[in-house]
Structure 1
Amino acid sequence: MDGHTRGKRSPVTCHLKCADACAHPVPNPTANPTFRSIADTVLNRRKALGLAGAGAAALTLGPALLGGMPAAAAAPAAPDASGQAAGVARGGARPAGGLLRFSPIAPVPADVDAVTVPEGYSWSPIIRWGDPILPGGVAFDALAQTPEKQALQFGYNNDYLDIIVNGAKGLSGLLVANHEYVNPAIMFPPTVDTVTAKKIAKAAHGMSVVGLKRSTYGTPWTYDPAGRKNRRITADTPFTLTGPAAGCELLRTTADPAGRTVLGTFGNCSGGTTPWGTVLSGEENFNGYFRTTGVSAAEKRYGLKDAPSTYGWEEIDPRFDARSSGDVHEPNRFGWIVEIDPEDPTATPLKHTAMGRFKHEGANVTLSGGRPVAYMGDDERFDYLYKFVSARSMRTGTAKADREYNRTLLTEGDLYVARFSGDSPVAEIDGTGKLPSDGAFDGTGTWIALTRGGKSAVPGFTVQEVLVNTRLAADTVGATKMDRCEDVQPHRSIAGRVYVACTNNTDRGKAGKEGATEVAPRLANRDGHIVEINEDKGNACGTTFTWNLLLVCGDPATNDSTYFAGYPKDKVSPISCPDNVAFDASGNLWISTDGAPSTIGYNDGLFKVGLSGRERGRVQQFLAVPTGAETCGPVVHERDGRGMAYVAVQHPGEDGTWDAQLSRFPDYVPVGQAAKPGQFAGPRPSVIQVW
């Protein structure tokens, strides 16, 4: 990655996390109808009919351009600075600002190795890499780490996070986290042999479930190393495949001729907690863990190559060398949404084929008429936005049979991919980020079915092929190319409202690649944006929606292309590379970032954004993570007049080495001072709490 990164973005992160994705050709080379070509066709048709002129901005896709599907309803008027659409009566009290009231912090320079929180707030770690969580676990000692010890300890590089509070008093709970990837250069001293280091790395991937306890609500948690629900899931834990593709030829290997049991999960990024209490996790950059033939169209589309893998696991486990006939399908067994039950450490985790296979950032579920609907992003340049609609409704009972039934809700249903259209003349979307004449980036959209009723909805594909090679199926139906959709979060109280974090896409507009579109209006989009979707009539099970851009991110002091839903640019915190999003109980959006050091020169952080009234579009920075780190999670709890925030701090001090560590988070052992038992002079990815 050397030479492909810019500013303070770590090439080490790019190599370890996503297998140098930006140094390789974009995996989506398809010439499916682009956003711009669809709009041009509509505009030309209007001119031919003599309808051009003042009304030409109102572009609506007809059935022919949507493959025979009904056109989406016209977009409503864009919200003004107050968040109200034109013609909508104003009234009611000003929305509450939430219980986490704070004065925004100033942006923190990218070389500062500290957690920065607002005045009046404190922070502390809940749990760190290497803390023991299972019986037999021992205190972390970086000089004496083994694969067996790591399998009983909290893993590395925590990404997805939830804090599940139990009981009316809220004095106990569970912490659930992913462990996305590792950085051997700062984890192990040079004396550790490579075979041992690779085995430790495998054990440090996966997921953790950890018990929590505290004395009173609103005070800091401590984790319980003897919690009866504590669990580690690693790259070797057995998973059961579910859904229409389970058992098909594309998922069979010599070790698993039935194609129904997979060992492990890795590359896990974000996720979501379901309404029935299980946790979903997205397998994202799985391609970097395999060596394959790299010949087939599917391998190329998923970035699989005939080259040594990022971590070299093929040297210690033959299933990661997929060039052999017996393991050629092993990579197909990754790239899924996985589901675990944090309340039952004996339950076999699941991989749901009905939800499609791609580089899942995560999945977040809402209920629509009782039916679960999961929204999912494919985190790759020019890839797509998806949703899954369950075939059945959730049971609300608390009996064991109800819980077991609900764990089957994601095994069958319909999978869709999104197609967006804008409502502005193409000439007004010039790649600079300048707002079109109607004052908003907005338009309509359609969910195109990939599967329907357990069968393929894509000509030429079987249902198994659609689900295993979902990217190829979505290419075929002409989905809209996006700027790395990462976390996709339904609003917690507004039916049909969904927020999509598009982190960035520096390739937009490069030679041979799609240029600016209304849903991605900047060329070389370094800072990313947030898409706000409104499902028609609030029906998440439907197939049409309207959309607008809530934020076009960046530092407004140096970047004229930023937009904050009409909120004054001189009154917001600069924000870049939105990644994970969440909501507080008051309805505010919270955004964690990944990549701000390379774009605006500041450490990544956590930001609060108002969504209604005069606060709509107001961005306020709540915290900043240490040098080299990414902000993951986040979780915001409000109750009994108190608020707390939680984030997972991933890859602090990424560019360091064992002998030259760049971060000492979270223990901050002074340089030259010997670490105490359980401490480590270098960085330890951790989950922290702020109160």
Structure 2
Amino acid sequence: MRRLLPLLSTKPHAGGRSALTCRYRCGDACFQEVPNTSGNEYAGDIIAGALSRRSMVRAAAVVTVATAAGTAALAGPDGGSRAHAAPAAAAPATAAAARGRGRADGARGLRFTPVPPNVNDRVTVPAGYAQNVVIRWGDPILRGAPAFNAEKQTAKAQAGQFGYNNDFLSLLPLPGERRRQVLVANHEYTDEMLMFRKYDPENPTREQVEIAWAAHGLSVVVVQEDRLTGSLTPVNRHHLNRRLTATSLFEVTGPAAGSPLLRTSADRTGVRVRGTLNNCAGGTTPWGTTLHGEENFNQYFANGASETDRRYGIAAGPSERKWERFDRRFDAALEPNESHRHGWVVELDPYDPDFIPRKRTALGRFKHEAAQPRLTDDGRPVVYMGDDERFDYFYKFVSSKRMKKGTSRAAREHNRTLLDEGTLYVAKLSGDSPEAVDGSGRLPDDGEFDGSGVWIPLATGDVSHVPGMTADEVYVFTRIAGDKVGATKMDRPEDVEPSPRTGRVYVALTNNTDRGKPGKPGADEANPRNLNKHGQILELAENWDDPAGDGFAWRLFLVAGDPKDPSTYFAGFPKEKVSPISCPDNVAFDPYGNLWISTDGNKLGSHDGLFGVAVHGERRGELKQFLTVPTGAETCGPVIQERRVLVAVQHPGEVDGASVEKPASSWPDGPGKLVRPAVVAVWRRDGREIGV
């Protein structure tokens, strides 16, 4: 049975998270048994039976040809098209040191004075930069919604107000409306201890539960730029503004829609779902929609008993929030299929307020951290996705349809079907170092953690590629399909982002303190540290002309932690010239091709923050901290534009022992005010581009 931890816990938590965060964000996932108990092989092992001989040969050929040509192989430290076999770390120390010379102010887009590690109870930004709070939990966005009043909050009011714990952000253009953009935000979870005065976690009231339902989900809100300062403010009651909650209507589409595995007593069709839960990161599509990953959905369900419940971490007893007392759909004993209707990627059209958001079953069901597409040369979307769990996998989906350009009604309707047909794959990695990885993080003799890999097909439409599983079963129980084909067990793959410039894919692996423990998988070349508390970032390259192929090359771009720690690695850049970083979570790219990284659970004694790092050129691996967030908060979002950075400040004040009566933070409105998650915009005071 799942254990409920006390709020004041002395147990160590993954990364630097508080017990309060672990309790409400993911249902104490790190204190439950690892859901993946499969005996499949790990990185560096030989694939046996997962692929046909023909597929294996084809995958190897793709990697070999790509490496020789340099089109898909990982480029060398100069950012050119050299094969990844020429690693930066293998270069002489003098050459590596030379890479730190040149302009003292950093790569273009990263020319700012780094913010030092700190524990300030505020958003701390570089000198010369300004900020404003764009929108807070409870700010009204719909017509008729009242101003926020913590003492008189109602579910009806919350349904018209900005939701709680904002995570993923997308900022989209709004043609025809000068200096306006459309902001889309995920609302991952609620922390009732910080929302309600005198909250009793063992006996929540119906009103509290219904407010929490309304605080989950998604928000769409138009924002206005101030011409003089660069600040953003919400445009209340705009016709595009929208709230979607845990009770809103969603449509199930794709090959598993209507499956008996998705039918319930309330929906015998298996195609209409109430609500979206635990939306973490997401993605923005080239056709103008947004994608939203349902992550730790398991924690909302009670009384799970099946093998599949256990593989997805559903509690055998009551849930933390006790929602099953107020709606039978959260009781797995009464509605065993309801949990199958969550854990999907949701697609939303922010430009159409009448569009019913769709849960895309072709992309598989697991703890989706994010979903970010790019297009093949012939216009087919390829979507990359991570399953945020210890020892789980990362995936891609390749559409069989091509995107239509333009904004005509016909093009929009066609593009809304792109993610319903195609092939779902899971990744298998192999290292190329002959010696065993010892778990210390020591680089192999070839100077890099790197290798090759294959994408193992799981299902295409109604055809399963996994022996013993139907296509419906593959989509609904995707984790089990990954187990069966021997996918590589990773250190919590979270956000996965392809570079719009190079096509390389960057996978944030946040941490895994269970790696190497007795009875648990040990280190391998892709996950090289036992008891991994700081995480790493993996860089993956496919054939630029055909990212739909089934072979790839990979290497670790960054191994996080204190640069003084010998187990850390920053793409070969001199470590005395980088900022310390711990627990990479969300990633995004700026207009100059730099990777930006937000952190979750910093284990170095500082607050979480946002970092920029060059991924090409002489300064490849130079990492600089741009901001930090307040006490107890996590950095989410982020969005990096030419003249503005947006971050979602999630769960400020979420510190062990904190409550409405005993706040641990006074952000964003000062002492005596309720702590509220919010979105923050940052810009240069002189009005110029960020970091140039």
TM-score in same-fold range (> 0.5): yes
**d(CA) in 1 for partners of 2:610 and 2:418?**
33
Equivalent residue, structure 1, for 2:318 = 308
1:140 paired to 2:140: no
Equivalent residue, structure 1, for 2:542 = 535
**d(CA) in 2 for partners of 1:87 and 1:303?**
41
Conserved in 2, the CA contact under 8 Å of 1:157 and 1:179? yes
**Aligned mate of 2:616, from 612, 616, 621:** 612
Point out where structure 1 has 5 or more consecutive residues left out of the alignment: 42-60, 672-680
Per-residue CA distance 1:335-371 (angstroms, 9 max, x = gap)? 0000111001111110011110000001001000200
**Aligned mate of 1:398, from 407, 411, 417:** 407
1:221 paired to 2:232: yes
Instruction: Give secondary structure in 1 for the equivalent of 2:610.
Output: strand
Conserved in 2, the CA contact under 8 Å of 1:98 and 1:585? no
CA separation of 1:99 and 1:618: change in aligned 2, threshold 3 A: closer
Equivalent residue, structure 2, for 1:660 = 662
**d(CA) in 2 for partners of 1:35 and 1:485?**
14
Conserved in 2, the CA contact under 8 Å of 1:262 and 1:333? yes
Q: CA deviation at 1:400?
A: 1.2
The two structures, once aligned, show a CA RMSD in angstroms of: 2.5
CA separation of 1:501 and 1:168: change in aligned 2, threshold 3 A: farther
CA separation of 1:191 and 1:13: change in aligned 2, threshold 3 A: closer
Equivalent residue, structure 2, for 1:651 = 651
Conserved in 2, the CA contact under 8 Å of 1:662 and 1:682? no
1:116 paired to 2:91: no
1:205 paired to 2:213: no
Equivalent residue, structure 2, for 1:57 = none
**d(CA) in 2 for partners of 1:406 and 1:66?**
30
CA separation of 1:533 and 1:170: change in aligned 2, threshold 3 A: farther
Per-residue CA distance 1:216-244 (angstroms, 9 max, x = gap)? 38711111111110000000001110011
1:628 paired to 2:632: yes
**d(CA) in 2 for partners of 1:178 and 1:627?**
21
Per-residue CA distance 1:174-193 (angstroms, 9 max, x = gap)? 11000000111111112796
Conserved in 1, the CA contact under 8 Å of 2:27 and 2:299? yes
Conserved in 2, the CA contact under 8 Å of 1:581 and 1:589? yes
**d(CA) in 2 for partners of 1:113 and 1:682?**
14
Conserved in 1, the CA contact under 8 Å of 2:106 and 2:619? no
CA separation of 1:646 and 1:198: change in aligned 2, threshold 3 A: same
Instruction: Give secondary structure in 2 for the equivalent of 1:115.
Output: coil
**d(CA) in 2 for partners of 1:14 and 1:670?**
26
Conserved in 2, the CA contact under 8 Å of 1:593 and 1:604? yes
CA separation of 1:141 and 1:424: change in aligned 2, threshold 3 A: same
Equivalent residue, structure 1, for 2:433 = 424
Equivalent residue, structure 2, for 1:280 = 291
**d(CA) in 1 for partners of 2:57 and 2:460?**
16
Conserved in 2, the CA contact under 8 Å of 1:97 and 1:586? no
1:384 paired to 2:393: yes
Instruction: Give secondary structure in 2 for the equivalent of 1:410.
Output: helix
Conserved in 2, the CA contact under 8 Å of 1:38 and 1:65? no
Conserved in 2, the CA contact under 8 Å of 1:241 and 1:351? yes
CA separation of 1:194 and 1:657: change in aligned 2, threshold 3 A: same
Q: CA deviation at 1:153?
A: 0.4
Equivalent residue, structure 2, for 1:252 = 263
The AA in structure 2 aligned to 1:501 is: A
Per-residue CA distance 1:221-277 (angstroms, 9 max, x = gap)? 111111110000000001110011111110000100111100000111000111111
**d(CA) in 1 for partners of 2:380 and 2:182?**
26
**d(CA) in 2 for partners of 1:584 and 1:690?**
14
1:107 paired to 2:117: yes
Q: CA deviation at 1:615?
A: 1.1
* Segment drifting more, 335-344 vs 304-313: 304-313
Instruction: Give secondary structure in 2 for the equivalent of 1:226.
Output: coil
**Aligned mate of 2:470, from 462, 480, 499:** 462
Instruction: Give secondary structure in 1 for the equivalent of 2:126.
Output: coil
Q: CA deviation at 1:106?
A: 0.7
Per-residue CA distance 1:604-641 (angstroms, 9 max, x = gap)? 00000001111100000000000100000100001xxx
CA separation of 1:484 and 1:440: change in aligned 2, threshold 3 A: same
Instruction: Give secondary structure in 2 for the equivalent of 1:304.
Output: coil
Conserved in 2, the CA contact under 8 Å of 1:62 and 1:70? no
Equivalent residue, structure 1, for 2:331 = 321
Q: CA deviation at 1:536?
A: 2.6
Instruction: Give secondary structure in 2 for the equivalent of 1:554.
Output: coil
1:561 paired to 2:561: no
Instruction: Give secondary structure in 2 for the equivalent of 1:466.
Output: helix
**d(CA) in 2 for partners of 1:351 and 1:649?**
26
**Superposition map of 1:350-369 within 5 A:** 350-368=358-376, 369=378
* Segment drifting more, 497-506 vs 189-198: 189-198
Conserved in 2, the CA contact under 8 Å of 1:335 and 1:360? yes
**d(CA) in 2 for partners of 1:385 and 1:547?**
13
1:375 paired to 2:410: no
Per-residue CA distance 1:42-98 (angstroms, 9 max, x = gap)? xxxxxxxxxxxxxxxxxxx997698776435245787655445768999xx999934
* Segment drifting more, 25-34 vs 161-170: 161-170
Q: CA deviation at 1:9?
A: 2.3
Instruction: Give secondary structure in 1 for the equivalent of 2:320.
Output: coil
**d(CA) in 2 for partners of 1:464 and 1:217?**
54
Q: CA deviation at 1:101?
A: 3.2
The AA in structure 2 aligned to 1:631 is: T
Conserved in 2, the CA contact under 8 Å of 1:63 and 1:70? no
1:581 paired to 2:587: yes
**d(CA) in 1 for partners of 2:648 and 2:428?**
33
Q: CA deviation at 1:305?
A: 2.2
* Segment drifting more, 160-169 vs 199-208: 160-169
* Segment drifting more, 177-186 vs 531-540: 531-540
Instruction: Give secondary structure in 1 for the equivalent of 2:615.
Output: coil
Equivalent residue, structure 2, for 1:438 = 446
Conserved in 2, the CA contact under 8 Å of 1:113 and 1:665? yes
1:28 paired to 2:30: no
Equivalent residue, structure 1, for 2:578 = 572
CA separation of 1:231 and 1:321: change in aligned 2, threshold 3 A: same
Conserved in 2, the CA contact under 8 Å of 1:33 and 1:478? yes
**d(CA) in 1 for partners of 2:195 and 2:349?**
30
Point out where structure 2 has 5 or more consecutive residues left out of the alignment: 89-101, 684-692
**d(CA) in 1 for partners of 2:608 and 2:174?**
31
**Superposition map of 1:46-57 within 5 A:** none
**d(CA) in 1 for partners of 2:420 and 2:531?**
39
**d(CA) in 1 for partners of 2:372 and 2:272?**
25
Instruction: Give secondary structure in 2 for the equivalent of 1:494.
Output: coil
Conserved in 1, the CA contact under 8 Å of 2:647 and 2:681? yes
CA separation of 1:7 and 1:333: change in aligned 2, threshold 3 A: closer
Instruction: Give secondary structure in 1 for the equivalent of 2:20.
Output: helix
**d(CA) in 2 for partners of 1:430 and 1:83?**
30
Instruction: Give secondary structure in 2 for the equivalent of 1:579.
Output: strand
Report the count of equivalent residues: 646
Conserved in 2, the CA contact under 8 Å of 1:156 and 1:179? yes
**d(CA) in 1 for partners of 2:229 and 2:153?**
35
Per-residue CA distance 1:79-136 (angstroms, 9 max, x = gap)? 655445768999xx99993456311111113xx3111000000111100000000011
Equivalent residue, structure 2, for 1:478 = 486
Equivalent residue, structure 2, for 1:688 = 680
Conserved in 2, the CA contact under 8 Å of 1:424 and 1:438? yes
Equivalent residue, structure 1, for 2:421 = 412
**d(CA) in 2 for partners of 1:604 and 1:18?**
18
**d(CA) in 2 for partners of 1:63 and 1:87?**
27
CA separation of 1:459 and 1:353: change in aligned 2, threshold 3 A: same
Conserved in 1, the CA contact under 8 Å of 2:142 and 2:236? yes
Q: CA deviation at 1:209?
A: 0.1
**d(CA) in 1 for partners of 2:228 and 2:613?**
25
**Superposition map of 1:492-507 within 5 A:** 492-495=500-503, 497-507=504-514
